[in-house]
Structure 1
Amino acid sequence: MNNFCVAHRGFSGKAPENTRAAFKLAMSVPYVKWLEIDVQLTRDGVPVVIHDFSVDRTTTGKGKVKDLTWREIRTMDAGIWKGSQFEGEQVPSLDEVLQMVKGRLKVNIELKTSGDMYPGLEEKVLERVRAHQMLSEVVITSFEPKALLRAKELEPEVKVGLIIDAHPRDLLSRLKKLGCSFLSIGYSHLDASFASELLKNGITPMAWTVDDRRSMAALARMNPEIMICTNRPDMWGQLFSNGFAPRIPFWDKWKGWFR
């Protein structure tokens, strides 16, 4: 298997999603080369790594992320829901995650927003990416086209990608208008022909979220350039034992970025 493995919210099949524990576990797997994370802003403007718009599901706290301060969120346990062995895990800041993975994993940063929910989110995220000198190691993605346009306006060199769980006929033209070099798409909407068309136009597809070996293998056979996002990198490992070979790139091969 030549396709890149992307750990969805870290190794979230075994550890609490979007926590240091999930990221550490992902980094311990040699064939994981990408990390996918979700970023929102606290009430006091700190970029934090959490998926839901509220903290209710994945922490011991209550309330919407945008209504809580960084200090308030930091007191919440973000691991106990997954198991007692993860008790004490916290919601990490974007700063902490970038510092943790720099030079080890590429990062797909999803701007988790809806409409104008988070004014300044793009600027705050790019500030932290620049501070860690990781502009060449990240791609900014979002369901919100306006967020991608804003990110490109603020930093023309940043790579951006649309997230979509559909395949409208005009998708390729929409991606070009947004300046995308990346597409994050629900895996059931991707086929070999469309993957090839995307790649010919300089757009790398990432299929999400793929947690069974059969689907992983089917995507891999479509095209070796399809990135596969999964909660279960261990399933990926089981494919290796069945005769697939992992892609282990060297960093100097990334001058052309995805290909």
Structure 2
Amino acid sequence: MNNLCVAHRGFSGKAPENTLAAVRMALELPYVTWMEIDVQLTRDGVPVVIHDYSLDRTTNGRGKVKNTDWSDMRLLDAGGWKGRAFRGERIPSLEEVLDLSKGCLRLNIELKNAGNLYPGIEKTVTELIASKGMREETVLTSFDPGTLLRCEEADPGIRRGLIFDSRWGDPAGRVRELGCSFLSIGFSRLTPGLARFLSGRGVGVMAWTVNKAKEMRRLADMHSDIMICTNRPDIWGETFLGV
């Protein structure tokens, strides 16, 4: 299957992002082969799946993820904002998502670490992935070069990817400098030349966040290896498989 479908934060177009409900909805679609999630650490060092540094937007809690213990965070409602049907949905731990995804979905795990906001997150996450036997099923990505270098130190065999969304700069050069084998890039920044260049060197390319059929087709025409990360995997299915 070309232009693999990546469910962005799970099936986040219909379920609350980065929750087990969103993961389960993605799992129900047989053509979803990858899922992108975001990981941070609680105050007491538990890796949790949530995008924002603050709890405010996607839960009924307040404050920073890094200032909240897991015992308090797991009590928050992370689904009610999306609709009545999702009330009571919780922020999942990374371990819960790994257990649900193992053998079913490959994972692009973004480490939400700016500078050294979460000291030790790289070691914590790589050790958890290894303990689940999922090193071959994951890629760790980040905007932060230091985080990617520390991932390599923590586990030299783990696959790593750079996230890039700048109008300027040399993403291919940065991928090479960091020794990464994956590029996660805003879809409007991706060019046919860059896609061909990276694919020819064995670097995986994922374009985000693509929710319209027209843009999906444009990327598919650009290169068959481009992975399409979308909030709406159902639209991917309609576009490429007619389902």
1:116-173 deviation digits (Å, cap 9, x = unpaired): 1100010111111011010010000000010000001111111100001125443222
Tell whether the 8 Å contact from 2:164 to 2:171 is kept in structure 1 after alignment.
no
Q: How far apart are 1:241 and its partner, in Å?
A: 5.0
Tell whether the 8 Å contact from 2:37 to 2:108 is kept in structure 1 after alignment.
yes
Q: How far apart are 1:191 and its partner, in Å?
A: 1.5
Whole-angstrom CA distance in 2 between matches of 1:115 and 1:218: 35
Secondary structure of residue in 1 paired with 2:37: strand
Is 1:183 matched up with 2:183?
yes
Q: How far apart are 1:193 and its partner, in Å?
A: 1.2
**Residue pairs, 1:101-112, within 5 angstroms:** 101-112=101-112
Aligned length: 243
User: What residue is the counterpart of 2:223 in the other structure?
Assistant: 223
User: What residue is the counterpart of 1:130 in the other structure?
Assistant: 130
User: What residue is the counterpart of 1:85 in the other structure?
Assistant: 85
Whole-angstrom CA distance in 2 between matches of 1:53 and 1:156: 28
Secondary structure of residue in 1 paired with 2:114: coil
- The AA in structure 1 aligned to 2:154 is L
- The AA in structure 1 aligned to 2:133 is Q
Tell whether the 8 Å contact from 2:10 to 2:37 is kept in structure 1 after alignment.
yes
> CA, structure 1 residues 57+240, in 2 after alignment: closer, same or farther (shift >3 Å)?
same
Whole-angstrom CA distance in 2 between matches of 1:242 and 1:60: 38
**Residue pairs, 1:109-188, within 5 angstroms:** 109-166=109-166, 168-188=168-188
When normalised by structure 1's length, the TM-score is: 0.91
Whole-angstrom CA distance in 2 between matches of 1:41 and 1:228: 27
Q: RMSD in angstroms over aligned alpha carbons?
A: 1.2
Whole-angstrom CA distance in 1 between matches of 2:33 and 2:241: 19
Whole-angstrom CA distance in 1 between matches of 2:30 and 2:17: 19
Tell whether the 8 Å contact from 2:106 to 2:137 is kept in structure 1 after alignment.
yes
Secondary structure of residue in 2 paired with 1:205: strand
Whole-angstrom CA distance in 2 between matches of 1:170 and 1:13: 31
Task: Give ranges in structure 2 of 5+ residues lacking alignment.
Answer: none
Whole-angstrom CA distance in 2 between matches of 1:97 and 1:204: 23
Secondary structure of residue in 2 paired with 1:150: helix
Q: How far apart are 1:203 and its partner, in Å?
A: 1.0
1:193-243 deviation digits (Å, cap 9, x = unpaired): 110001112211100000000000000111110001000001111113559
User: What residue is the counterpart of 1:11 in the other structure?
Assistant: 11
> CA, structure 1 residues 12+78, in 2 after alignment: closer, same or farther (shift >3 Å)?
same
When normalised by structure 2's length, the TM-score is: 0.97
Secondary structure of residue in 2 paired with 1:188: helix
Whole-angstrom CA distance in 1 between matches of 2:107 and 2:241: 27
Task: Give ranges in structure 1 of 5+ residues lacking alignment.
Answer: 244-259
Q: Name whichever of 234-243 and 98-107 sits farther off.
A: 234-243
User: What residue is the counterpart of 2:53 in the other structure?
Assistant: 53
- The AA in structure 1 aligned to 2:128 is R
Whole-angstrom CA distance in 1 between matches of 2:57 and 2:130: 31
